[in-house]
Structures are given as C-alpha cells and as structure tokens.
Amino acid sequence: MNFFAEVKRRNVYKVAVAYAVVGWLLVQVATQVFPFFEIPNWAVRLVVLAIVIGFPIALVIAWAFELTPEGLKRTEDADLAQQSPRKSRAWIFIAIIGALLSVGLFMLGRYGFRNASSSAGASAKSIAVLPFDNLSDDKSNAYFAEGIQDEILTRLSKIAALKVISRTSTRKYKSAPDNLREVGNQLGVANLLEGSVQKIANAVHINVQLIRAATDEHVWAESYNRKLDDVFGVEGEVAKAIADQLEAKLTGAEQRAVTAKPTQNAAAYDAYLRGQSIEHGEYSTDAVRQAARDYVEAVQLDPKFAIAWARLGVARSWLYFNGVDLDVNTSDAVKESADRAMAIAPEAGESWLAEGTYRYRVSRKFESALSAFEEARKRLPNDSTIYRYLGVVQRRLGRWKEAEASYKKALELDPRDVTLLNDMGSTFYAYLRRFDDAHALTDQALRIAPDSAPDRATKAGLFQAEGRLEEARRELARIPEDASDEFVIGARIQQAIYERRFDDAIKVIEAKLSSIPASQRFDFYTKQFLVFLGFCQEWAGRPEEARNAFARAVQAIKPTSDTVVGADAGGLPMILALAYAGLGEKEKALQQAQQALKDYANDQVSKPQAEYTLAQVQARFGDNDTAIAALPHLLQVPAGLTKANLKLDPLWDPLRKDPRFEKLFQEQTQ
C-alpha cells in the first residue's frame, strides 16, 4: 500500500494518463494524417513503436524526477525544497484536451480525410476492376474470364455516379495483388474488384469481391453459379450490387442499361468475348483484324446482337482509317455495322460510339461525329475511349482547349494507357509545340512500358521535332534492330534524313518493302515510305532508282486515272503530290497539292500539312516567293512546321540560298 501511495505522490499515475492520451493523439495523427500526405507506412509504424518504447521510460522519469518552477529535479531534492507543494490540475486539462483532439482526428480521419482524398482522385465511389483469375483447367478459356471482367467493367462505366478506371490501366496488374494500397494510389481509386472465373463444360462459376484499397477491408463478396446459356445476366447483377455497396444511385436509364442482357445466344456471346479479349489485350493491326472476325461470327450467330454490331463497326472503322484490307473494311461495311447497331439498340452508348467512329473516320463529318460522341458519353460516362475520341475530333476542329480537357478526362479514367499517353504527347502537345508537356507524358509511358519499341520511337520523334538529334539517336539505339513497327521505321527514316545519311535511310526502307508479301496491298505507311525512298535516292545521286520509286508510289496510290484519292487519315493526297513532284510533273504536283488543301480545309490537323506540302512543291519548281510567304503562318499555327524541320529537312533546300528564307530562319532561332 505504501508503494502505491508513493506512486501516486510522485505523479506517476498522472504522467501515465497524460502520456497515454498524448500518445493516442500522436497515433491518430500518424494513422489518419500521414496517408493523406502520402507519407510511407513505415513512418507510421515508427511513430507507434517510439510511443510504445517511450511509455516505460516516461514512467521511470516520473518516479525519479519532479517538474518544479526551477526545472526538472530529483524527487528527493524537490521534497526538501517544498514540503507542502501545491497541487496542480494542469495534467487534467492536458488529458482532456488531448482526448478531445484524439477523438476529433479519429472522426476527421474516418469521415473527413477519406472524403478529402477522394476529391483528389480517390473518390469513395471510385473503382478499378482487376483482371479475373482463370481457374478453368483449360487455360485456353482465359479469354472467357477476361471477357466477363470486361463486361462487368463496361456495365459499371454506364453509371455516372461512379468513377471507373478503364481496362487498359488495369490489365497489367495481378488478379489479387499484395500491395492494394499502392495499386489504389496508382489508379486513383478507393475500391478494387477482384474475381475469378471457372468454366467447366456447360457450367460457369464466378467469384467476385469488393475491397477497400486503403485498408484491405473486404466490403462485399458473392459467388455465382450459372449454365452457359444463363450467364448473360451475371455482369449486370455484379455491377448493380457494387453500385449498391458504393451507394451510387442509378437513373432509370442506367438501371436498364446495366441489367440488360446483350444476347441469348451462348455461342454468339462466346465469340463476342473472344473478340473483346483480343482487341483489349493487344494494340496492333493483327489484333483488330482478328477481333473483327470474331465480331462477324457473333453477329452471324445472332443478327440482333447490337453490341457486337457496334464493336464490329468500331473495329472496321479503325482498319478503314489505317488503310488495312480495304476490300473488306469498306466505307459501306463500316456504315452497315453502325446502322445495324443503332437500329437494334438506339439508346445504347455502344451504338452511338460506332456511329461516331463512322462519322469521324469514314465520312469525316467532324461536327456530326462530335454530336455522336457526346451522345455516347451521356450513356457511357466512364468510358475513357469516348473522351479520347472527343479530344481527337475537337482537335480536328481546332478547339484545342476543349480537346485538352477531353484528353485529361480520358487520362483520369485510364492513367496507365501508354497509347493514350503517347497520343497526347506526340499528336496534341507536340502540335502545340508544348514539348515539355509532351515529354512528360512520353516519359510516363516509358516508365510503364520501358521496353516498348513504338513508345521509344515516339520519344525519339519528339526530339527530332525539336532538332535534338543526338538525344533522338540515343533513344533509337535502345530499340532492337529487328523492330518492324511502322512508328519505329518512320523514326529511323526521319533520323537518317535529318542527319543526311541517305544511304542508311534507303536501307531501312528497302528492308521494310522486302518484308511485305507480294500479295499484300500497301497501306498508307508503305506508300509514304516509297516516296521517302525516291527522295533519298535522288539526294544520294541515284536518279533512275528515284524515278522508279516515285512511279511505284503513284501506281500504289492512284492505280488508275479514275481512282479518287480523297482526304484520309494518312495524308495520301499530299503524298501523291510529292510523288508527282519527284517525277518532275509540275502541273500534276501543283494541282494535286492544291486539291489536297481543299480536301483538308475543315481539318485543323491535316490542313497545315497540306499547306506546307504545297509550299514544298512550289519551292521544288522555283516559286520561292509563294513558298516563303507561306512559312511564317506555318511556323505559328498548331500542327504546322517547327524550326527544326525548317532547318533539317532537305525538301527545303531549294530555298536555303534565298536571303528571305535565311532571315526567316534566323528570326525563328532567336
């Protein structure tokens, strides 16, 4: 009893209570505030450990020492100096204040910081659907698991009250990653959906669980057992359950869109899922070709499968846009797919997306395409692809600020899409000559995919546009020699031309041409390479070979006198004008260049290219006055010339001895 009385007399109890309250306050600061400022978890653990270790030390100090007006003294000395010390109530106030602050921080952390961090990009109603595990014995069924995951994500993307990350940003993660908080931070979401799919004969078993990323808390889980003939509604059930868990209110139209069954034909649905898996798993011409074939199979099995018609329309519009298999992917074929989707499901966002891609890529009616994409956006508010299309079309219309906002929204929903990052960098910010912004995006893409040859070539292209040839050379040197992607080949050709290594450029082009089967039609990249080949041979002193290359290019672009070479994505009208110029056919070259300018009059991306192509043709045939007069405007307008191009491109050589050209160039470099 005397010991406990002595403990009380020496204020050990008071120190213990005050320490506990203040320690709890510090723990609340560490656990609630540190994550908001992205302070690492080890710092939180260090604070807790220090508080635990400090507790017995504080008690020992309280036993041995007394705090007096003269400072800290040993308890025995303090007793001698003041036999009847005044009782202090300060510790009570410290404990009460500390307790109130602890409770306040706890409540703020639970309800305030979570919401604050949500507004910074991790909304409580934000979610990413991670790749589903394929638990089937037959690993070839992986496409089925991917398709189920993708369909759940698509249903969720139709709910405006949610923020849903696109598939491109989630596909690189494991199905059940260990570092959930890090994944949530990288994707900017508060919730993650994990799942697995097991397909056995005619039966399907699906498991899903909703997890809070910051705390690893399992919010909701469910299992579904279905026959293949009855699997179509599972995605809608899962999406509706997740919306309920995240307290996201659905409108009547959203309710119908989320729960709608796309088809009742199991074989058609299987073909559709194969197409989805291929199309979203790889960005390449062959992937889109195969996806289109799967969608064709789906609509043949179920001609009323609207979403499959829509996906077929989008895939074929891309192939048409890039000049691939134009005997199959005709303008009529693209239009038919979009029309069928719209006729069957006029309220579906996918139908409006297909309609928009037809208007943009085929008929090139940009204002009309913009309207269609806006309709798609209303129905698919979380689809990053739609925002990207909006940005692309707004850019064509010269609405650069609106385009930037659309691109940024697309990136918010798809933050790890390297294709989107490079597109923003090389065909948006580079067009505006905002090269620092462009490099920031391509660097981000390379951090995600450091071994991607096309992304490395995009980075080199930015350096070339700035005239930083040494840095471009280093980027290209990091690409494997056997890389055959068109972006890589184009960057290598451009580098060799700018460095006036024309024989090297010729070797690159000839290697590409020799790799193409004789039966395969040239796409617009190859036709452009043919014209480059002609000029390089001319500059290298090989005029006869140059004429042959130019003639091959004309034959490939305009095989008959009746062939109409209209405006397209590849700029074939301008390429044809340069081919005529290479052949020395002045009238045809000028006429074709002027026609291209008319064709692209309403396209603020391609119009500057048509303008400087006309100037290059004029310069080649000695009309320096007209060519030079066009340059100041082209050096200022978005998507026009850069001073590096003016300095390095041999096509401007006919103007280099003109004092006006030299003066203009000097003004640009000051």
Cβ contact 425:439 at 8 Å? yes
The tokens of 97 are what?
A: 């204040």
Q: Among candidates 165, 131, 93, which has minimal Cα distance to 415?
A: 165
Q: What is the mean pLDDT of residues 210-231?
A: 84
- The residue with greater pLDDT, 188 or 58, is 188
Q: What residue ranges of the chain are covered by domains with CATH 3.40.50.10610?
A: 126-259
For residue 400, how many C-alpha atoms fall within 13 Å in the half-sphere facing its CB?
13
pLDDT digits (tens, 9 = 90+) for 373-382: 999 999 999 9
Q: Among candidates 275, 282, 262, which has minimal Cα distance to 315?
A: 275
What sign does the CA torsion over 314, 320, 321, 324 have?
positive
> CA Rg, the chain, in Å?
33
pLDDT at 388: 96
pLDDT at 122: 61
pLDDT at 121: 44
pLDDT at 143: 83
| Rounded (5°) CA angle 503-506-511 | 130
Q: What is the CATH number of domain 564-669?
A: 1.25.40
Among 157-161, 335-339, 632-636, whose mean pLDDT is lowest?
Answer: 157-161
- The residue with greater pLDDT, 186 or 17, is 186
Task: Please name the residues in contact with 398: beta carbons below 8 A apart, sequence gap of 6 or more.
Answer: 604, 638
Cβ contact 620:539 at 8 Å? no
Can you give the three-state secondary structure of 502-534, one letter per residue? HHHHHHHHHHHHHCCCCCCCCCHHHHHHHHHHH
Instruction: Give the whole-angstrom CA distance, residue 309 versus residue 315.
Output: 10
Cβ contact 614:594 at 8 Å? yes
Rounded alpha-carbon distances, angstroms, from residue 41 to 25, 169, 186, 455? 17, 25, 16, 34
Torsion angle of C-alpha atoms 358, 364, 367, 372, degrees rounded to 10: 0
Instruction: Give the whole-angstrom CA distance, residue 202 versus residue 230.
Output: 10
Q: Which residue type sits at 145?
A: A
Q: For residue 247, is pLDDT > 50?
A: yes
Q: Which fold has domain 267-416?
A: 1.25.40
The tokens of 528 are what?
A: 């452009």
Instruction: Give the whole-angstrom CA distance, residue 563 versus residue 544.
Output: 26
The secondary element (H helix, E strand) that includes residue 582 is helix 572-582
pLDDT digits (tens, 9 = 90+) for 632-670: 999 999 999 999 999 999 999 999 999 999 888 777 665
pLDDT digits (tens, 9 = 90+) for 101-142: 666 655 555 544 444 444 344 678 899 898 888 888 777 778
Q: What residue ranges of the chain are covered by domains with CATH 1.25.40.10?
A: 267-416
Q: What is the mean pLDDT of residues 331-347?
A: 96
Confidence class for position 91, pLDDT limits 50, 70, 90: low
Q: Which residue type sits at 14?
A: K
Among 24-33, 305-314, 333-342, whose mean pLDDT is lowest?
Answer: 24-33
According to DSSP, the β-strands at 163-164 and 126-129 are parallel
pTM to 2 decimal places: 0.77
pLDDT digits (tens, 9 = 90+) for 13-60: 677 777 777 777 777 777 666 655 556 666 767 877 888 888 888 777
What does the DSSP 8-state code read for residue 162? S
Count other Cβ atoms within 10 Å, centred on residue 220. Answer: 15
With tokens 């390095």, the residue in question is: 648
pLDDT at 114: 44
- The residue with greater pLDDT, 364 or 29, is 364
Q: Among candidates 405, 330, 406, which has minimal Cα distance to 373?
A: 406
What sign does the CA torsion over 601, 605, 608, 611 have?
negative
Percent of the chain residues topping a pLDDT of 70: 86
Q: For residue 96, is pLDDT > 70?
A: no
The tokens of 15 are what?
A: 């120190």
Q: For residue 484, is pLDDT > 50?
A: yes
Q: Is 382 helix (H, G, I), strand (E, B) or coil?
A: coil
Instruction: Give the whole-angstrom CA distance, residue 238 versus residue 235.
Output: 5
According to DSSP, the β-strands at 126-129 and 191-200 are parallel
Architecture of domain 126-259: 3-Layer(aba) Sandwich (3.40)
User: What are the start-end ranges of the E strands in 228-315?
Assistant: none
- The residue with greater pLDDT, 536 or 80, is 536
Task: Please name the residues in contact with 31: beta carbons below 8 A apart, sequence gap of 6 or more.
Answer: 44, 109
- Average pLDDT of the chain? 86
Q: Among candidates 142, 116, 225, 129, which has minimal Cα distance to 168?
A: 129
Any long-range contacts for 330-335 (C-beta under 8 Å, 24+ apart)? Answer: 331/362, 331/363, 334/358, 334/361, 334/362, 335/362
Count other Cβ atoms within 10 Å, centred on residue 296. Answer: 20
